[in-house]
Amino acid sequence: MMRMVSNRIASNFLSSNKFCSKAEPTLKVGDVLQQRRIFTIEDVVEYSKVSKDMNPLHFDTECAQIAGFQDRLVHGMLVASLFPRIISSHFPGAVYVSQNLQFRQPVYVEDEIVGEVQALNIRNFKQNYLAKFTTRCFKKDSLIVLDGEATAILPYLSWQSHIVE
C-alpha cells in the first residue's frame, strides 16, 4: 500500500472527545514524499558557477537544438538535487549515503518537475535508521525524466512537513 505525502501537508490531527492533539506522521515502507520545482535559467547559471559545468547545451538554445534537443537543458545533477532536498526537508539532520541515477528524458529550463522519494526499506542503524528510497522525477505529471535509488541515515522516523523555497 502506498501512502502519498505532499510537502503541502502541514500535519495530521487526531481528535479525541473535545480535545485535538497533533500526531507526528511516521515514515513507513511505501510512503511517498514529493516536492515540485521549476528550474529557471538563474538556477542553471548558479549551478554552473558552482559545478564549473559550462556546457553550451545549458545556455545556448541553438546549440541545444543542433544537438537534437528542443531548448536549453537543466543540468541532470541539478534536477537530481531534489532528492536530498526532499529527504532533508522532512528529516533535518539526515545524512545522504548513496544515490544511483538513470537520466531518461531531458529537462528544459522552465519545466515544472515533481521530485519523489518512496521508502523501500527502513531498518535500525546504530541509534538511527537506514532508509532506502526509490527516487523519481516527473514532468507533465507522468513522464519520468530521472529515476534511481538512494540511501540515507535518518535521525528519526517522524517526518516534518517543511515547505522549502
Q: Which three cell numbers stand for residue 13?
A: 490531527
What total number of domains does the chain contain? 1
Residues 141-151: tens digit of each pLDDT: 899 999 999 99
Residue 78 in any domain: the answer is yes
Note whether residue 53 is domain-resident: no
Tell me, what's the pLDDT at 25? 82
Query: What's the whole-number mean pLDDT along residues 98-118?
Result: 97
The pLDDT value recorded for residue 8 is: 32
User: Is 50 exposed, middle or buried, given 0-12, 13-18 or 19+ CB atoms closer than 10 A?
Assistant: exposed
Query: What CATH number is associated with residue 7?
Result: 3.10.129.10
Residue 57 DSSP label: G
> What is d(CA 54, CA 63) in angstroms, rounded to the nearest whole number?
13
Place of cell 520545482: 37
Reported as a single tens digit per residue, the pLDDT across 8-67 is: 322 222 222 233 334 568 999 999 999 999 999 999 999 999 999 999 999 999 999 999
What residues make up the domain containing 101? 3-40+74-154
